[in-house]
């Protein structure tokens, strides 16, 4: 059966990133999560499979730490998971990531639709879907908010800065969805239980023959620090706190 | 023709990118996909305007043609305006040519065939510096460079557009929001607001402060309570007011990215652990339904 492949990335939660006073970045304590908008990509695949027929599956390219993502992703409805498991994912740039995903998509075989989110919550580079399309020579539609299907065609509405553009394509195709495309529900207990029993296929770098050489060279990573006054008015009742705030703002000359 | 090639679906950004290319002394070639764009670009100071002519109204359908053309010309660098279309086309070219690309750079420098860039990652928490040698692609938002002027010859090159994606219809989005970038003060509402009618509370405060009303992404994209022009952050408006006052905004980094350059940040939130307080100059931990009307009254007096 033809597959609808949702690509998601397992990323460090940016809310847990600690910036040291010397602006060095400590990411070691950050929990992993499915990149926020990739949940919309997964939901879009599940919804598309319902309308188009076929099987929604997930695909991720990540190191061994991405393990917990599999069950999480499958609890959101897809039937099978694919994982390109490679330590090199840590150093991957857009070129490498797209090559890895494209190679896996080819290996998976018969697919009618590949769905990415517009941007990952770490890179927010908004590159991967068009790159995959180019590598596999598939048509690409980005910035998608609405998808409808007519036979084997996809009619998609794109949200651009100042217009809504509706386009049509014969499948297979690659799509990047905006978070406005849908509202992914929280997985229920039953779905979480069922996820553990769904099949997972792992690919190694050797299985796919991927060229892992990044094109971009990262030369520095620096935390952003913002120095603010951090004055919290917490003494007394609400009325007196508000008075203190108003007085402070008057003193700063911003009122 | 070796040199820097620039493209944007927005004329103003294209003109700025030509300005960038010229500032380093390199030849600047402006790319476009329609005669109308070519005519407009002709006075914007490029060394040449290159009109890739095919039969599709969708610029994206020229991704492959553009990649082939750049390769054939031995282009050094492709600089693209970071709009929805621009990012898409840039990444397609990078995909076809399997080359490096840096998206939405905050800073860039191109010299001796090497591109050095800075961009933010993790929603704004981290700045990453990268270098790439050899042909590569970069996208840049508008407003970073000064446009130049000067007449350029238009060279028309017939190319094959990808016929697979066809245009069904296009409908303009009418902008209903205000331009927050110019506002001296901004009152910002977040998802802590319980219902749409409660926006009045925020509007009342904004009126007293002579401020514009802004919001977080969820308020406009999910709940549709305010126009999308009014949401602030990495994917919305980046503002520089003297005063920014938030209510019911948790202060996730993607939102904070948009208010970093505010002179004073004031936060009202019921959760004392909300990250917004780390980014605030002044704050009150409390229920905004109690604090905001009090603040409005106090400021009126
Ligand atoms: C790639 C990416 C890009 C993004 N871009 C943007 C962007 O450009 N702009 C943006 O805004 N977001 C953006 N986001 C989303 C962002 O991560 C946050 O989810 C969002 O900013 C949270 O909005 P919020 O603060 O309104 O809501 P919440 O995080 O839900 O916070 C609501 C707050 O209201 C408080 N509250 C509740 N009731 C009350 C009350 N009665 N009184 C006082 N306080 C109360 C709560 O304590 C809480 O702190 C992006 C996310 C990603 C992944
Ligand atoms: N390592 C990865 N594994 C699977 N999908 C990915 C990966 N990296 C990026 N993607 C997909 O591509 C989208 C855009 O990523 P980016 O271009 O990096 O912003 C993400 O939202 C995912 O849908």
Domain boundaries defined on chain B: 4-158, 180-300
Tokens 């007085």 -> residue: A247
Q: Is B123 on the interface with A (CB under 8 A)?
A: yes
What percent of chain A is predicted at pLDDT more than 90?
95
pLDDT reported for residue A118 = 97
A189-202 average pLDDT score = 97
Give the total residue count for chain B: 301
Closest residue in A to B211 (Cα–Cα):
A255
Residues of chain A with Cβ-Cβ distance to B222 below 8 Å are 180, 183
Closest CA to B226 of B176, B268, B185: B176
Angle at A193 between CA A190 and CA A196, to 5 degrees: 145
Of the candidates A131, A158, A230, the beta carbon closest to that of B94 is on A131
- The residue behind tokens 């950050």 is A30
> How many A from CA of A119 to the centre of ligand 1?
18
CB-CB: which of B94, B170, B222 is closest to A165? B170
One fold for B4-158 and B180-300: yes
Q: Measured in angstroms, how far is the CA atom of residue B74 from the centroid of ligand 2? A: 30
Residue pLDDT, tens place only, A209-236: 998 999 999 999 999 888 899 999 988 8
Residue A197 tokens read as 């029993």
Structure token pair of residue B125? 């928490």
B88 interfacial to chain A (CB closer than 8 Å): yes
For domain B180-300, give the fold. Answer: Rossmann fold (3.40.50)
Q: Which CATH superfamily is domain B4-158 in?
A: HUPs (3.40.50.620)
Burial of B249-287, coded b for 16+ CB within 10 Å and e otherwise, reads bbbbbbbbbbbeebebbbbbbbeeebbbbebbbbbbbbe
Neighbouring C-alpha atoms within 13 Å toward the C-beta of A252: 17
Do residues A13 and B121 touch, judged by C-beta distance below 8 A? Answer: no
What are the structure tokens assigned to A56, written together? 């929604």
Answer yes or no: CATH 3.30.300.30 is held by domain A3-208.
no
Phi, psi torsion values for A107, nearest 5 degrees: -65, -40
Q: What is the CA radius of gyration of chain A?
A: 22
Q: If residue A221 lies in a helix (H) or strand (E), which one and from where to where? A: strand A217-223
Q: Do B173 and A163 touch (CB under 8 A)?
A: yes
State the pLDDT confidence band at A204, using cuts at 50, 70 and 90.
very high
User: Which of A39, A121, A124 would you mutate first to test chain B, the one with the most B CBs within 10 A?
Assistant: A124
Ligand 1 pocket member B271 (CB < 6 A) = yes
CB B16 within 8 A of CB B145: yes
β-bridge pairing B212-215 and B243-247: unpaired
Nearest to B153 by CA among B39, B286, B25, B9: B39
Residues A19-73: pLDDT tens digits?
A: 998 999 999 999 999 999 999 999 999 999 999 999 999 999 999 999 999 999 9
Number of Cβ atoms within 10 Å of the Cβ of B210: 10
pLDDT (tens place) for every residue of chain B, 301 residues total: 889 999 999 999 999 999 999 998 899 999 999 999 999 999 999 999 999 999 999 999 999 999 999 999 999 999 999 999 999 999 999 999 999 999 999 999 999 899 999 999 999 999 999 999 999 999 999 999 999 999 999 999 999 999 999 999 999 998 887 889 999 999 999 999 999 999 999 999 999 999 999 999 999 999 999 999 999 999 999 999 999 999 999 999 999 999 999 999 999 999 999 999 999 999 999 999 999 999 999 999 8
Burial B140-165 (b: 16+ CB within 10 A, else e): bebebbebbeeebebeeeebebbebb
> Ligand 2 centroid vs A9 CA: distance in angstroms?
5
Sheet holding B100-102, edge to edge: B100-102, B136-140, B77-81, B4-7, B28-32, B48-53, B153-158
pLDDT at A158: 98
Nearest to A82 by CA among A186, A232, A189, A204: A204
Please indicate whether, in this complex, the C-beta atoms of A132 and B95 are within 8 angstroms of each other: yes
Give the pLDDT band (50/70/90) at residue A87: very high
Residue A245, both tokens: 């705030």
| CB-based contact B15:B147 (threshold 8 Å) | yes
In chain A, where the domains are located? 3-208, 225-255
In the prediction, which pLDDT does B177 show? 78
Complex prediction ipTM: 0.94
**Cα–Cα distance measured from residue B139 to residue B136, given in angstroms and rounded to the nearest whole number:** 10
B143 touches chain A (CB under 8 A): no
Report the alpha-carbon distance of residue A101 to residue A201 in Å, rounded.
14
Nearest-ligand number for the alpha carbon of B88: 2
Interaxial angle between packed helices A238-252 and B288-300, expressed in degrees from 0 to 180 and rounded to the nearest 10: 50
- Whole-number Cα distances in Å, B224 to A42, B174, B215, B238: 23, 15, 11, 20
Q: Work out the angle at residue B46's Cα, subtended by the Cα atoms of residues B40 and B51, and round it to the nearest 5 degrees.
A: 55
Amino acid B175: pLDDT: 82
Whether residue B127 and residue A221 make contact (CB cut-off 8 A), yes or no, is: yes
Beta strands in chain B, from DSSP E residues, in sequence order:
4-7, 28-32, 48-53, 77-81, 100-102, 107-111, 114-121, 126-133, 136-140, 153-158, 165-172, 185-189, 212-215, 243-247, 264-269, 282-285
Tell me the sheet residues that pair with A170. Answer: A153
Q: How confident is the model at residue A171 (pLDDT cuts 50, 70, 90)?
A: very high
Q: What is the DSSP string of B136-177?
A: EEEEE-TTSS----B--EEEEEE-PPP-SEEEEEEEEPPP-S
**B189 Cα: distance to centroid of ligand 1 (angstroms):** 9
Mean pLDDT of A108-128: 97
pLDDT at res. B174: 86
Partners of A88 in beta bridges: none
Bridge partners (DSSP) of residue A188 are: none
CA distances from B57 to B5, B54, B154, B162, B165 (A): 21, 9, 19, 11, 10
pTM: predicted TM-score of the whole model, two decimal places: 0.95
Q: What is the pLDDT of residue A241?
A: 96
Q: Per the annotation, does B216 bind a ligand? A: yes
pLDDT bin (cut points 50, 70, 90) of residue A143 is: very high
In this prediction, residue A226 carries a pLDDT of 86
pLDDT at position B192: 98
**How many angstroms separate the most distant Cα atoms in chain A?**
69
């Amino acid at each position: 059966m033809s597959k609808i492949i949702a690509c998601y990335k397992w990323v460090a939660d940016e809310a847990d990133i600690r910036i040291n006073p010397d602006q060095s970045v400590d990411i070691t304590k950050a929990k992993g999560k499915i990149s926020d908008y990739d949940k919309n990509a997964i939901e879009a695949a599940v919804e598309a499979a319902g309308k188009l027929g076929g099987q929604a599956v997930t695909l991720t390219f990540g190191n061994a730490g991405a393990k917990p993502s599999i069950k999480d992703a499958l609890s959101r409805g897809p039937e099978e998971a694919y994982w390109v498991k490679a330590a090199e994912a840590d150093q991957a740039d857009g070129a490498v990531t797209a090559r890895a995903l494209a190679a896996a998509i080819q290996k998976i075989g018969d697919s009618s639709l590949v769905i990415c989110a517009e941007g990952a919550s770490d890179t927010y580079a908004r590159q991967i879907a068009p790159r995959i399309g180019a590598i596999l020579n598939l048509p690409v539609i980005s910035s998608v908010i609405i998808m409808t299907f007519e036979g084997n065609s996809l009619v998609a509405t794109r949200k651009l800065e100042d217009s809504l553009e509706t386009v049509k394509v014969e499948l297979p195709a690659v799509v990047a969805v905006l978070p406005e495309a849908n509202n992914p529900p929280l997985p229920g207990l039953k779905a979480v239980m069922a996820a553990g029993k769904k099949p997972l296929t792992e690919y190694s770098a050797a299985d796919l023959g991927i060229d892992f050489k990044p094109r971009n060279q990262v030369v520095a990573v620096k935390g952003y620090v913002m120095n603010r006054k951090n004055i919290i008015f917490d003494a007394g009742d609400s009325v007196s706190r508000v008075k203190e705030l108003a007085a402070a703002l008057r003193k700063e000359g911003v009122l | 023709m070796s040199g820097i090639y620039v493209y944007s679906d927005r004329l103003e950004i294209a003109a700025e990118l030509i300005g960038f290319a010229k500032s380093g002394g390199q030849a600047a070639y402006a790319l476009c996909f329609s005669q109308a764009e070519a005519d407009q670009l002709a006075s914007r100071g490029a060394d040449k305007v290159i009109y890739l002519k095919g039969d599709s109204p969708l610029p994206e359908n020229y991704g492959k043609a553009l990649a082939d053309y750049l390769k054939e010309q031995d282009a050094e660098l492709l600089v693209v305006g970071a709009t929805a279309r621009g990012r898409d086309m840039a990444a397609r070219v990078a995909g076809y040519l399997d080359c490096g690309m840096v998206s939405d750079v905050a800073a860039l420098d191109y010299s001796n065939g090497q591109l050095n860039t800075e961009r933010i990652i993790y929603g704004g928490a981290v700045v990453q510096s990268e270098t790439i040698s050899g042909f590569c692609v970069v996208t840049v938002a508008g407003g970073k460079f000064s446009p130049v002027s000067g007449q350029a010859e238009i060279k028309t090159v017939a190319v094959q557009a990808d016929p697979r994606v066809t245009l069904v219809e296009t409908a303009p989005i009418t902008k209903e929001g205000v331009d927050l970038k110019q506002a001296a003060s901004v009152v910002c509402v977040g998802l802590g607001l319980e219902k749409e009618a409660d926006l009045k509370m925020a509007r009342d405060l904004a009126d007293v402060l002579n401020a514009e009303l802004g919001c977080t992404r969820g308020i406009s994209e999910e709940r549709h309570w305010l126009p999308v022009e009014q949401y602030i952050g990495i994917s919305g408006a980046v503002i520089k007011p003297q005063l920014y006052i938030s209510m019911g905004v948790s202060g996730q980094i993607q939102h904070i990215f948009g208010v970093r350059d505010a002179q004073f940040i004031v936060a009202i939130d019921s959760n004392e652990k909300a990250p917004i307080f780390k980014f605030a100059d002044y704050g009150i931990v409390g229920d905004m339904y109690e604090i905001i009307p009090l603040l409005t009254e106090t400021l009126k007096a």
